[in-house]
Amino acid sequence: MTVISATERLQGDFGTLSELLRRHAAERPTDEVLVFEDQGVSYAELDTQVGRVAASLQRDGLKSGDAIAISALTSLGYVFAFLGGLRAGVAVAPLAPDMTAVNLDRMIADSGAKRLFLDQFIASTLSSTGFAGPPRIALDDSPSAAKWSDWLAPAGSKPAAVDVQPEDAFNIIYSSGTTGAPKGIVLPHSFRWAQFKLFRALGYDADSVAMVSIPLYSNMTLSSFLPPLAMGCKIVLMGKFDARRYLELAERHRVTHSMMVPVQFQRILAVPDFDRFDLSSFRVKSCGSAYFAPALKAEILARWPGELIEYFGMTEGGGVCTLDARKQPTKLHTVGRPLAGHDMRVIDEDGAELPPGSIGEIVGRSPTMMVGYLNQPEKTREAEWFDAENRRFIRTGDVGRFDEDGFLVLMDRRKDMIISGGFNVYPTDVEAVLREHPDIEDVAVAGVPSSKWGESPVAFVIRKAGSGLDAEALIGWSREKLNKTQRLAAVEFIDELPRNGIGKVMKRTLRERWTASGRTL
Mean pLDDT for all residues in the chain: 90
**pLDDT over 90 (residue 236):** yes
Q: What is the DSSP letter of 31?
A: S
What is the pLDDT averaged over residues 189-193? 94
Angle at 152 between CA 147 and CA 153, to 5 degrees: 150
The residue length of the chain stands at 521
Distance CA 369, CA 356 (A): 24
**pLDDT over 60 (residue 3):** no
Q: Would you say 128 and 25 are in contact if contact means Cβ atoms under 8 Å apart?
A: no
The correct CATH number of 17-164 out of 3.40.50.12780, 3.40.50.720, 3.40.50.980, 3.20.20.70 is 3.40.50.980
- pLDDT digit string (tens) for 309-339? 999 998 888 999 999 999 999 999 999 999 9
* SS3 at position 441: strand
The CA–CA distances, whole Å, from 31 to 24, 48, 79, 292, 465 equal 9, 14, 17, 36, 46
The CA–CA distances, whole Å, from 59 to 47, 51, 152, 159, 160 equal 18, 12, 10, 9, 10
* SS3 at position 83: helix
Distance CA 43, CA 206 (A): 12
Distance CA 201, CA 317 (A): 19
* SS3 at position 502: coil
- pLDDT digit string (tens) for 164-190? 999 999 999 987 544 446 689 999 999
Q: How confident is the model at residue 1 (pLDDT cuts 50, 70, 90)?
A: very low
What is the pLDDT averaged over residues 1-9? 69
In this prediction, what percent of the chain has a pLDDT beyond 70? Answer: 96
Q: Would you say 82 and 216 are in contact if contact means Cβ atoms under 8 Å apart?
A: yes
* SS3 at position 40: strand
**pLDDT over 70 (residue 137):** yes
Residue 356, CA atoms < 13 Å, CB-side half-sphere: 5
Q: What is the DSSP letter of 486?
A: G
Q: Would you say 144 and 138 are in contact if contact means Cβ atoms under 8 Å apart?
A: yes
* SS3 at position 165: coil
* SS3 at position 310: strand
Say if strands 343-347 and 32-36 run parallel, antiparallel, or are unpaired: unpaired
**pLDDT over 70 (residue 422):** no
pLDDT number for residue 329: 96
* SS3 at position 195: helix
Distance CA 408, CA 323 (A): 10
Instruction: Indicate the fold that domain 417-516 takes in CATH.
Output: GMP Synthetase; Chain A, domain 3 (3.30.300)
Distance CA 171, CA 484 (A): 46
Q: Is the pTM of this model over 0.75?
A: yes
In this prediction, what percent of the chain has a pLDDT beyond 90? Answer: 64
Give the alpha-carbon dihedral of 512, 513, 518, 521, to 10 degrees: -80
Inter-axis angle of helices 262-269 and 294-303, to 10 degrees? 50
What is the phi-psi region of residue 348: left when phi exceeds 0, alpha when psi lies from -120 to 50, beta otherwise? beta
The reply to whether 417-516 shares the fold of 17-164 is: no
Domain spans in the chain, listed from the N-terminal domain onward: 17-164, 417-516
